[in-house]
C-alpha cells in the first residue's frame, strides 16, 4: 500500500479519475489496484457513446475552426501567447494546493446532489458563445506558493482539454491579456447539463488558473443539441477541493471503498461482476434489495450486520430504528426471510383483476435515446384455442427514426383487433412512451385513453403481492429466477440500443434481427411472469397472506 500512496502523491491523478470517483467511490480504486483479469470488456454502448462524442467534437471544430495543439503545458502556453481564438485538444497539468477547511461538514457528493436540483443557466446561441468580461473571477487559483501550504496538501492533477476559447474583449487590458482570457469548454453528448460536467469544468478552470494567474468564473458546455450552455463555476471550487481530498484519502485505504450497487449506475461498468462478488463475500447484507446506502448504517448501528440477523430480529425492534420507518423495516425483514429460505413470500394473492382471459397481449418497447425514437413496439398475442395457448409475436418496427409514426399507428391497429384484451407490460416506461407517442402524433384522445386503461403493469403487481429471493427486481432477474432464458444470453436494453445504432450505420440486417429476438423474449418473459403470478399466488398462499407490505 505504501507504494500505491507514493504513486498517488507523485501526481498521477487525472481529471477522469476524479469524475469516476464522483460517480462511484470504488471505480477509480479498482482501476488502479483491482485485479485486471476480473474486468469485463468495454460495453458496446459505451464505445458507441465515445464515437458519438468524437463526431460531435469534429462537428464543433468544423463550425468553429481553431488551433489544434499537442498535449502538455508548453504547447498550451505557446498557443495562448500567440493569441489563438480557439485552442482544441491538448492536455494541461498543474500542482494544486489547498488549505484545510474545518467548516466543511458535508461531502462533495452531497453538495453536488443538492446543487443538481438548482436551475441551469439558459442556453446561448453558438453564434454568441463568449460570456461577458464580468464572467472572470480575478482571484488566486488553488495553486498557492508551496511554502505557504502545509506539507502533504498538494497533488499534481492533469486533464485532457476539449476546447479553450479566448474573449477578445479582454485583449489589451493588461500585459498578459493574451494569456488570461481563456475559458474551458467541455463537449458532451448528453441532452442537459449534469453536475459531473460542471465539476470537470471547475477543475479545468483551476488548472487554467495556475497558468493564467486567474480563474474564470464560467465555463461552457456544448451538448448534443449543439447549443452552448454557460455554466457558473465559482460554487464548484470548494467541491473540487473536497472531492480531491476524499479521493486521495480513499487511495490510502487497504481495501476498496464500500459501495451499494445500483442497476442504473452499475449495469455498464466493467467491474460490476467483481463488485457483486466482493459485496457478496464481505457484506452480503448490502446486496439485499431495499438496503440502500442510507439504510445500511442505520441497520449497522442497531446491531444488524447480516441477512440472518435481519430475518430473525424482532419486528418491533426493527421498526423502532430511528429514520428507518416501520413500513421499510417490515419490507426489509420480509426480503431477508425470502432470501434465506430461497422461497417467495406471498403478501397477498393477486386479486381477481389479474385473471386468465381468452386473449392477452404482452407489450415491450425498445427505444434509442441517441436518435430520440421508440423504434420497436413488440406485442405478443396469446390466445386460448381448444384448451391450449397459442402465442404469436408481432413487431411494429421503425427501421428508420422517421418511421416512428408508422410503427405507432401499426401498433394501435393491432391492439384494436383485440379491444377487450388486457395489455401486460413490466415497468411504467411503456405507458409513458405510449402517452408521448399519442400526443406527438395527435392520436384521438379518447382512443389513447381507452388504450392506456387496458395496460397492466406487472412490476407494480410484484411489488404489492410477493417478496422474491432475488438481488434485483428487474424483469430479467425475476424471469430467470422463474427459469426463463433469453436466446441471446448477453442481451440487454443497452445492447439493443447499440444494435439499432449499428443497423443505422452499417445496414447489416443481423443487428435488427438481434433487436427483434431480444424484444420478443422480453414479451415472452412478461408472459411467463404473469402466468406465475396468476397461478402461484392462488395455489400457494402462506402465513404472510394477510400482511400488508408497503410498496417500495
CA distances from 74 to 79, 81, 82, 332 (A): 9, 11, 12, 58
pLDDT, mean of residues 377-400: 93
The answer, yes or no, to whether residue 101 has pLDDT greater than 70, is no
Q: Which residue has the higher pLDDT, 83 or 350?
A: 83
Q: What is the 3-state secondary structure (H, E, C) of 334-370?
A: HHHHHHHHCCCEECCCCCCCCCCCCEEEEEEEEEECC
pLDDT of residue 353: 57
What's the mean pLDDT in 474-484? 95
Q: DSSP states of 57-104 as a string?
A: HHHHHHHS--EEE-SSHHHHHHHHHTT-SEEEE-EEEEEEE----TT-
Percent of the chain with pLDDT over 90: 46
Q: Check residue 68 and give its pLDDT.
A: 94
How far apart CA 78 and CA 83 sit, in angstroms, is 9
Residue 337 has pLDDT above 60, yes or no: yes
Give SS3 for 540.
coil
**Predicted TM-score of the model (pTM):** 0.75
How confident is the model over 295-330, as pLDDT tens digits?
988 999 999 999 999 999 999 999 999 989 899 999
Q: Report the pLDDT averaged over residues 188-216.
A: 87
Query: DSSP 3-state helix, strand, coil percentages of the chain (rounded to 5)?
Result: 45, 15, 35
Q: What is the pLDDT of residue 313?
A: 93
Supply the pLDDT for residue 174.
Answer: 55
Contact 475, 525 (CB under 8 A): yes
Res 124: pLDDT: 37
Long-range contacts of 397-404 (CB under 8 A, 24+ apart): 397/512, 397/516, 398/373, 398/374, 399/375, 399/503, 399/512, 400/504, 401/368, 401/371, 401/372, 401/373, 401/375, 401/504, 404/373, 404/374, 404/375, 404/437
Question: Which has the closest alpha carbon to 31: 206, 250, 190?
Answer: 250
The mean pLDDT of 368-373, rounded to a whole number, is 90
Residue 137: pLDDT band by 50, 70, 90 thresholds?
very low
- The whole-number pLDDT of residue 170 equals 59
pLDDT of residue 180: 58
Q: Is the pLDDT of residue 132 over 80?
A: no
Q: Is the Cβ–Cβ distance between 324 and 508 less than 8 Å?
A: no
Mean pLDDT is lowest, of 26-30, 63-67, 388-392, for 26-30
Q: How would residue 451 be classed by pLDDT, with cut points 50, 70 and 90?
A: very high
pLDDT at 155: 82
pLDDT range class, residue 489, cuts 50, 70, 90: confident
Least confident of 240-249, 275-284, 381-390, 470-479: 275-284
**Lowest-confidence pick of 85-94, 109-118, 212-221, 360-369:** 109-118
pLDDT band at 241 (very low <50, low <70, confident <90, very high): confident
Report the pLDDT value the prediction gives residue 249, as an integer from 0 to 100: 86
The winner for highest mean pLDDT among 68-77, 88-97, 346-355 is 68-77
DSSP conformation letters of 275-302: HHHHHHHH-GGGGSTT--TTHHHHHHHT
Residue 278 has pLDDT above 90, yes or no: no
* 99 pLDDT more than 70: no
pLDDT at 433: 97
Pairing of strands 359-368, 373-385: antiparallel
The average confidence (pLDDT) of the chain is: 81
Cell reading at 450? 381507452
Contact (Cβ atoms closer than 8 angstroms) between residue 220 and residue 230: yes
Please tell me whether residue 223 adopts helix, strand or coil conformation: coil
pLDDT at residue number 110? 40
**Which pLDDT band, with edges at 50, 70 and 90, does 266 fall under?**
confident
pLDDT band at 269 (very low <50, low <70, confident <90, very high): confident
Domains of the chain by start residue, with CATH = 42-99+118-244 (no CATH), 283-342 (1.10.150.20), 359-539 (3.30.420.10)
Amino acid at each position: 500500500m505504501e507504494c500505491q500512496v507514493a504513486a498517488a502523491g507523485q501526481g498521477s491523478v487525472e481529471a477522469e479519475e476524479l469524475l469516476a470517483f464522483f460517480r462511484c467511490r470504488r471505480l477509480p480504486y479498482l482501476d488502479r489496484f483491482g485485479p485486471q483479469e476480473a474486468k469485463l470488456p468495454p460495453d458496446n454502448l459505451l464505445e458507441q457513446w465515445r464515437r458519438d462524442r468524437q463526431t460531435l467534437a469534429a462537428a464543433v471544430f468544423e463550425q468553429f475552426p481553431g488551433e489544434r495543439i499537442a498535449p502538455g503545458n508548453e504547447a498550451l502556453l505557446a498557443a495562448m501567447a500567440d493569441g489563438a481564438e480557439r485552442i482544441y485538444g491538448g492536455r494541461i497539468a498543474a500542482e494544486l494546493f489547498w488549505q484545510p477547511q474545518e467548516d466543511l461538514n458535508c461531502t462533495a457528493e452531497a453538495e453536488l446532489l443538492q446543487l443538481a436540483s438548482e436551475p441551469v443557466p439558459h442556453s446561448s446561441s453558438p453564434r454568441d458563445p463568449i460570456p461577458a468580461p464580468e464572467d472572470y473571477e480575478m482571484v488566486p487559483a488553488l495553486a498557492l506558493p508551496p511554502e505557504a501550504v502545509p506539507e502533504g496538501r498538494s497533488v499534481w492533477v492533469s486533464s485532457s482539454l476539449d476546447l479553450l476559447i479566448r474573449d477578445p474583449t479582454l485583449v489589451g487590458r493588461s500585459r498578459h491579456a493574451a494569456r488570461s482570457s481563456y475559458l474551458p469548454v467541455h463537449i458532451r453528448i448528453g441532452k442537459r447539463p449534469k453536475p459531473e460536467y460542471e465539476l470537470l469544468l471547475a477543475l479545468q478552470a483551476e488548472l487554467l488558473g495556475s497558468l493564467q494567474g486567474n480563474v474564470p468564473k464560467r465555463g461552457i458546455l456544448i451538448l448534443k443539441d449543439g447549443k452552448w450552455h454557460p455554466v457558473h463555476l465559482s460554487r464548484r471550487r470548494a467541491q473540487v477541493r473536497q472531492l480531491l481530498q476524499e479521493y486521495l484519502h480513499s487511495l490510502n485505504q487497504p481495501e476498496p471503498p464500500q459501495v451499494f450497487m445500483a442497476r442504473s449506475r452499475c449495469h455498464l461498468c466493467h467491474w460490476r461482476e467483481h463488485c457483486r462478488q466482493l459485496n457478496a463475500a464481505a457484506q452480503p447484507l448490502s446486496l439485499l434489495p431495499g438496503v440502500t446506502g442510507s439504510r445500511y448504517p442505520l441497520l449497522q448501528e442497531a446491531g444488524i450486520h447480516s441477512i440472518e440477523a435481519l430475518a430473525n430480529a424482532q419486528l418491533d425492534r426493527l421498526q423502532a430504528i430511528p429514520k428507518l420507518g416501520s413500513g421499510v423495516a417490515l419490507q426489509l425483514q420480509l426480503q431477508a426471510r425470502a432470501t434465506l429460505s430461497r422461497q417467495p413470500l406471498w403478501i397477498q394473492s393477486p386479486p381477481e383483476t389479474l385473471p386468465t382471459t381468452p386473449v392477452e397481449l404482452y407489450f415491450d418497447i425498445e427505444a434509442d435515446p441517441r436518435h430520440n425514437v421508440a423504434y420497436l413496439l413488440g406485442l405478443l398475442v396469446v390466445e386460448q384455442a381448444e384448451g391450449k395457448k397459442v402465442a404469436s409475436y408481432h413487431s411494429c418496427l421503425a427501421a428508420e427514426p422517421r418511421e416512428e409514426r408508422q410503427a405507432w399507428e401499426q401498433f394501435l391497429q393491432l391492439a384494436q383487433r383485440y379491444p377487450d384484451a388486457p395489455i401486460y407490460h413490466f415497468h411504467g416506461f411503456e405507458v409513458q412512451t405510449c402517452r408521448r407517442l399519442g400526443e406527438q402524433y395527435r392520436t384521438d384522445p379518447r382512443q389513447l385513453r381507452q388504450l392506456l386503461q387496458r395496460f397492466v403493469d406487472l412490476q407494480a403487481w410484484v411489488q404489492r403481492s410477493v417478496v422474491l429471493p432475488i438481488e434485483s427486481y428487474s424483469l430479467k432477474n425475476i424471469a430467470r429466477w422463474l427459469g426463463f432464458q433469453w436466446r441471446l444470453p448477453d442481451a440487454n436494453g443497452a445492447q439493443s440500443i447499440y444494435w439499432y445504432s449499428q443497423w443505422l450505420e452499417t445496414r447489416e440486417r443481423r443487428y435488427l434481427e438481434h433487436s427483434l429476438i431480444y424484444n420478443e423474449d422480453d414479451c415472452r418473459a412478461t408472459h411467463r411472469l404473469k402466468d406465475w403470478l396468476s397461478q402461484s399466488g392462488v395455489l400457494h398462499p402462506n402465513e404472510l397472506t394477510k400482511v400488508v407490505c408497503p410498496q417500495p
